[in-house]
Copies of this chain bind each other. A is one copy, B any other.
Amino acid sequence: MVVALDVGGTGMKCALVRPDGTSVHTERHHTRAERGPAAVVASILDIAEGLADKARADGLTPLAVGVAVPGVVDESTGTAAWSANLGFRDVPLRELVGTRLGLPTALGHDVRVGGIAEARLGAGRDTRHVLFVAIGTGIAAAHVVAGAAAAGAHGAAGELGHIVVRPDGPRCGCGGHGCLEAVASAASVGRRYTTLTGTPATAAEVVSRAADGEEAAGQVWRETIDALADGLAIAQALYDTEVVVLGGGLAEAGTGLLDPLGVALRRRLTFQTEPRLVRAALGDEAGCLGAALLALDRLPVP
């Protein structure tokens, strides 16, 4: 049994997970990031300890802890190096959790562990080369080969959301212009529709209105698909994966996203082999399950 926490900007998904990847207990908590990073860290420690205690009270033995956080994460040192949402700057979270609980602890990046979970247990199962792309408030990717996600030299690999696809495009939260995230994230889709029409709408509403034939929504959605296809064509040229697993809020559009995106991607590839595009299978549990898998990886093979 391992303790798993996926700490997001708004909520924490937590679970006690068996070695086979099934959860025996789940909890959700508000992150309340506005309290500042120290308070968020204190909550993480309390919740993790509470989960371990709960396991023991139920006659189970917690063997390890896995924690996933967003931002720039250095898995090798166990440090949450930087996170816009949580205000983290070089927080030695692996050591803090490990010391508090007295258990082997792994720290991972939320999208990379989500990718690990989708690759091992979800939509990428039985596939060696997987690209997991999470399209929500932002856009990030995890390149997973044989069940392991590439972290890069500084914990910042897979930043698909911050490749420039529209040099004259909107300003991005990172300070650049025309990043894929600034054009095609769920947040950007809503924002661009609002700019065009003056009417506030979520990405889901834009997709639905586009399907109903509304012109402005159709235009925003077509531009979104084109930008995403540009990004995926670049990812395929550099990573050459077998399957692209699409997750995050925008993937809720299902075939409304997958079908036109597949057509647009195919049009952009020349000699490259086309990856299969599939929808993520684990929903918003992927990060928590992935944190559990990281923790399980730290245990000796039985």
Contact = CB atoms under 8 A, between A and B. Distances in A.
Most-contacted residue by chain B among A153, A155, A230, A239 (CB, 10 A): A153
A237 to B, nearest CB: 4
A63 interface: no
Nearest to A160: B238
A49 interface: no
A128 B153 contact: yes
Interface residues of A, number: 41
A241 B238 CA distance: 13
A160 B238 CA distance: 6
Given A174-B270, A175-B270, A234-B234, A241 B152 contact: yes
A153 B151 CA distance: 19
A239 B238 contact: yes
A159 B129 contact: no
A175 B270 CA distance: 6
Given A145-B150, A175-B270, A271-B82, A238 B240 contact: no
Interface of A: 72, 82, 128-129, 141, 143, 145, 150-160, 162-164, 172, 174-176, 230, 233-235, 237-242, 268, 270-273, 275
8 contacts: A153-B275, A154-B242, A156-B237, A159-B237, A164-B268, A174-B270, A175-B271, A234-B234
A155 B155 CA distance: 25
B271 A153 contact: no
Contacts of A275: 153
Contacts of A272: 154, 156, 159, 162
